[in-house]
Structure 1
Amino acid sequence: MNELVELHGFSDRDMHFNVSVNQNTTFIGDAFRIEVILSNLISNAIKYQKTNESNKTVNINIEVDDLEAQIEINDNGMGILKEHLEKIFTQFFKSKMHHGSGLGLFIVKEALNKINGNINVSSNIENGTTFKITIPNAK
């Protein structure tokens, strides 16, 4: 996680990351797919930040136990319109307010499906977006 935060932090030096990892057990999973998932979500949190925001923040909380990893990524960015929340994981879906290819969240969802994980999202225009991910521990 620290490597991903460091890598993505170069794209916006004003972005502040708060990372919390609570892991007291071994976690076994598909490292490549998990990295793709996290990288896309962190990248989006940076890309869709409010341009006038003076305190750009991404919070990442990870809880790992014998059964699963629960990952929450929260930002204080632009947010996603309520009417778009059901469509954001659809291939090529793009909101008029957001730029991009419409592939990032589709790739996240597909990668999670391959490793039997799931994702939930909550968002509003004032406070930003929160993604909650659960990935089974294959141990």
Structure 2
Amino acid sequence: MILPLVQELNPGVLSDVLAQRLQDMTAQGYQCAAAFVDDCCIGVAGIWLGVRFWCGRYLDVDNVIVDSRYRGAGIGQQLMDWVERYAHQEGCEIMVLDAYVTNHPAHRFYQRNSYQIVGYHFVKSLRSTR
């Protein structure tokens, strides 16, 4: 149901790989909030709950995407508002998220929602170079 939207955000990943990853993620506590028009999923915001030394209980927002036909209609804001209410209900002290460096519209959206850029997310690939 959410995979067509997730595919938009991850076009280089095969759909069967995304389906397997979703299954694995769900087993590890991944949840999501979704917006629908009729039976069609038009927006999704993934969430993970966790605890870390530096911040205590937190909610990690993951893979927020709204169908391109519905962008600008407030769907993303509704999803983020729901997620924030959920974080409060779960006793979270902060919310965190990652956004691709080149995704400037997302940066503006998150900054309008009081998110601050406070660090870097470093990645080291462990994939074979064969």
Q: TM-score range by the shorter chain?
A: 0.3 to 0.5
